[in-house]
Chain A
Amino acid sequence: MSELRDARLSRVQFFRMMGGLAVAAAAAACSTKPETTGSVSQGTQLRFVGVADQKAPMDELVAAYKQARPGVTLATSFAPTDQVQTSVRTQLGAGNAPDLHVVYPGSGSAMSMTQIAGAGLLADLSDQAWTRTIPTGFKPAFQKDGKTYIYSAGSSVIGAIYNKKVFQEAGIDGPPTTWTEFLALCDKLKKAGTTPIALGAQTPWVTQLITYALVPSTVYAKDPAFDDKQAAGQASFAQSGWREAMDMYLELQKRGFFNDKPNGTTFEQQISMVATGKAAMAVQVSAVLPDFRKAASSPDDLSMFPLPGADDAAQVWIPAGVVVGLGAGAKGKNLAEAKAFIDFLGKQENINRWAKAIAAIPLTQDASSTIDPAVQSFLPFTKDKAVPFMDQRWPNAEVQPVHFAVIQDLLAGKIKVDEALKKMDEAYAK
């Protein structure tokens, strides 16, 4: 007891000790400082925050960059779309943006090139060689006011991912080329006892894909300048082929071509239904082909065909959108190094590698470019019968979520097509 009392510190001793500790800590901080700066000069660490779809190509290319430029390391992290949108926007708002981060092409989302570049938070990449080869049709997705702010390795298409085995068992020879043929094909599958189309409409972004697949034929094949007219207020969703596309969507439901209760079915369940042969196909974006292949017993079981949205094969157009890309923070401390990494990604061989990892069509092509056999059937369309994903030209981030919600309501029979299109027009006008 007395020992304890002796050991007790007087207040003065206590403060003296604390002061000593503070001095020691400060000294330690000073002495370590030169070391830290030393390590920076030896090697820069870049921070990248991306969306989950980018993990496969980024892992491969970060490893390659390590060899090409050993002094620079990249710390990467990935999250699903919703989370990445939250965390990157928060970091951008707080002023501590990562050196490199995911950016969506065009204008229709809160993380889109137009919105972030508009806030002055993306570095201009226009001085890099690869930007001069961006195909004209894709420029709106990459550029704002003539300057390039986003890197993307190419484009993906939306169409029907189908299980070849199931098609064979139902006696189907080849993909359909018109809407009537497509309906007949679905009918045949249904009679053979298979769900023709798996639809995972509980996952919001999945809801939009069937409209996106049809609208190029019902809207843009008739009026390629629809986007410009809509932006000028001369066209609307309600007074266009969007109505036809939604009617066609609902016709598929009315004929019983979807799985039971699509609003309660998730994207993951959709994948598993097609991969295991419970359903014959799913209207999806080619970027998720690797996910379907992973779930299938043999990756060769799966292929894709363009969804024909018109009864005249010559009027069938397809959606081909620039895949999600990345940009460099305009205010990053390591801006030069961050831009150097993007320049590296812009080399043709690296565009090829990125595109291959996500089954995309490379932005520019050379002899060594490979195109996934599953998307070969889309190539004849890409030159002059393809339009970017619709949201890439929408003026704000609200139209797309409204599209998700009205499709779910339409599938649930809660609203009619008129009301759905009216809501989308209202969101567009905001």
Chain B
Amino acid sequence: MTMTATRAGTTARRRPGRRRIATLSPSWLFAAPALVVYAAVVLYPSVAGTLYAFTDWSGIGADRSFIGLENFRAMLHDDQAMGSIGNTLLLTVAVVVVQNGVGLLLALGVHAKLRSRALLRVVFFAPVVVSPVMVAFLWKYIYNPDPSAGLNGLLGLRVDWLGDPSLALWSIAGTVVWQYAGYSMVIFLAGLEGVPKELHEAAMIDGAGAWQRFRYVTWPLLAPAVTVNLMLSTIGGLKLFDQVFAATNGGPGYATETLSTVLYKQAFVFGKFGYSTAVALVLAIFVAAVSLVQIHYTRGREVAQ
């Protein structure tokens, strides 16, 4: 009797479940395994890690206590952290503008009917596949302050590229642009391939010159590529770490300290894991906010055209 009752209960309970599965769209079912892995590997650790931002954990040992918003309050009075926000923003603006400008010019160049364009595309894209740390070390040699070596030797200059506090940040921006302009180029190139030839022909018949064709035909149709490029380079710029760490380690002084190098140093050099997590949290929120605002505006431009 009990057995039957239980069985009946189970079936009764099962039915709505089945119906629910049936109503779930198949795409969710296919995505489920990946989502589970994503939740376990990315979401859970991120959320669990966030909790450390409210503690004074040193990174080792079990000794930690909950200190509320103290870490965030400390950040407001931390010259190094606040200074690094300024550096991060300057670096991001420089990288976004120059990298995409150069990327667009390269894309227009290799989109033209040049015989060597396939080779040039490979050449311009090549730095992208090299590890950023390797690129930084390479540029450390190029930026040698010795007047007879590297860039100074080539240009006949006596510039202290990485050692002058007012210049070091821009030197690093140069490295980043050198490495990732090819990346922007590829995305713009994909956009350019999608511009219909007929429009160009029609504009030509109407008497439009090269600049007018770019301004009124190519540029509006490149809007999706611009959106993607701006977003990727902004995110890349805001969380820049490898190149700075390998080239200057945040120096000279604090001239090239970015939010990423500060959070690294707080965690592993100063042994302030809790504070470092707070900085990381601020960085993550900052990147997300900037990206959302940017997408909103650039998408608007896509719809408008």
- A interface, CB within 8 angstroms of B: 82, 85-86, 89-90, 92-93, 109-110, 115-116, 118-121, 201-202, 204, 260-266, 269, 396-398, 401, 404-406, 408-409, 411-412, 414-415
Contact = CB atoms under 8 A, between A and B. Distances in A.
Nearest to B171: A264
B251 interface: yes
Contact of A412 (B147, B161, B163): B163
Contacts of A109: 269
14 contacts: A82-B249, A82-B268, A89-B267, A110-B271, A116-B60, A119-B60, A121-B61, A263-B251, A266-B140, A397-B269, A401-B265, A408-B253, A409-B253, A415-B253
A260 B145 contact: yes
Say whether chain B's binding surface is mostly helix, strand, loop, or mixed.
Answer: loop
A409 B271 contact: no
A398 B249 CA distance: 15
B164 A412 contact: yes
Contacts of A411: 252
Nearest to B143: A264
A380 B145 CA distance: 39
A231 B104 CA distance: 59
A110 B160 contact: no
Nearest to A430: B270
A110 B140 contact: no
B163 A262 contact: yes
B175 interface: no
B58 interface: yes
Contact of B60 (A121, A262, A266, A405): A121
Interface in B63-116: 63
Nearest to A119: B61
B268 A204 contact: no
Contact of B163 (A119, A261, A406): A261
Contact of B145 (A120, A264, A397, A412): A264
A93 B162 contact: no
B60 A261 contact: no
B236 interface: no
B144 interface: yes
A89 B61 CA distance: 10
Interface in B241-258: 248-254
The 5 A-B pairs of least Cβ separation, nearest first, read A264-B163, A119-B61, A263-B163, A264-B145, A409-B253
Contact of A409 (B162, B248, B249, B252): B252
A120 B271 contact: no
B268 A86 contact: yes
